[in-house]
């Protein structure tokens, strides 16, 4: 499985590169793309998609959401599957992702951890079991993370909302107002070098259930991204996610 890494010069791009060079899941690195000039002895790295001559089996993207349009234009033109592991997409970029998935296999997840997919399932089950409980989501990340709340926190909130159709999100609660019945609180903490923690708290007047996932190091996400790349190679066009892997 020949992989091209978009954002190869970044923290996560470097993690994926290291794991691919070690041959994880029989993968091999054929090229990289990064907005900044990067020199890597093992493979060519380009600053523009127009200069890429290699034909990878799959592209793994750990860059920035603003690079999505150029990435998808290249991938759809060349019919190359994409693992989109970048967060923070706006409404326009989300539409581009949906359109691209009609032409190529596209794996998109706000979090590349299988554990987070399981956390989502547990959170939905708990919300369904306790329909009147208060639900709060707390996420913690390092002080360099740009988007808040995290894409994973939003993923958790939206999955719970599937169980509670009248629920709405309250981001970083403040002011003089009582908590509303259908509110899901979402809170972001940025400090130190925290890789990623996501906590879902479900509380009634009589008991509290806390569900938590903690990432110990970034290789967790690289491992998940390569597993996703392996999964979508050979698949038909469509939008896939971590639940697609769980279901298989």
CA distance 128 to 80: 39
User: ω before 238 within 30° of 0 (cis)?
Assistant: no
Q: Kindly name the residue from 64, 103, 145, 235 that is annotated as catalytic.
A: 145
Q: Kindly name the residue from 141, 166, 187, 198 that is annotated as catalytic.
A: 141
CA distance 223 to 219: 6
Residues 6+ apart with CB under 8 A from 238: 101, 105, 106
- Residue-level length of the chain: 248
Is residue 141 flagged as an active site residue? Answer: yes
Both tokens of 153, joined, read 């926190």
CA distance 48 to 52: 7
Residues 6+ apart with CB under 8 A from 184: 135, 136, 137, 157, 160, 161, 164, 167, 168, 169, 170
Is residue 140 flagged as an active site residue? Answer: no
Active site residues: 141, 145
């Amino acid at each position: 499985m020949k992989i091209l890494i978009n954002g190869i010069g970044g923290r996560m791009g470097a993690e994926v590169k290291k794991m691919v060079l070690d041959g994880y899941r029989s993968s091999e690195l054929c090229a990289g793309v990064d907005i900044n000039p990067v020199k890597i002895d093992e493979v060519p790295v380009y600053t523009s998609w127009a200069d890429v001559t290699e034909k990878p089996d799959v592209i793994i993207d750990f860059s920035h959401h603003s690079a999505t349009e150029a990435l998808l234009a290249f991938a759809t033109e060349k019919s190359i599957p994409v693992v989109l592991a970048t967060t923070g997409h706006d409404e326009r970029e989300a539409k581009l992702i949906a359109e691209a998935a009609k032409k190529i296999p596209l794996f998109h997840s706000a979090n590349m951890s299988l554990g987070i997919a399981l956390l989502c399932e547990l959170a939905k089950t708990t919300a369904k079991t306790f329909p009147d409980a208060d639900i709060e989501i707390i996420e913690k990340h390092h002080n360099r993370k740009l988007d808040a709340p995290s894409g994973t926190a939003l993923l958790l909130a939206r999955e719970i909302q599937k169980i509670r159709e009248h629920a709405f999100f309250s981001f970083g609660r403040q002011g003089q107002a009582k908590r509303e019945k259908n509110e899901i609180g979402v809170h972001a903490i940025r400090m130190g070098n925290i890789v990623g923690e996501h906590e879902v708290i479900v509380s009634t007047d009589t008991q509290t259930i806390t569900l938590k996932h903690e990432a110990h190091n970034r290789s967790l996400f690289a491992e998940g991204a390569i597993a996703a790349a392996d999964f979508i190679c050979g698949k038909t066009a469509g939008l896939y996610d971590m639940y697609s892997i769980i279901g298989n």
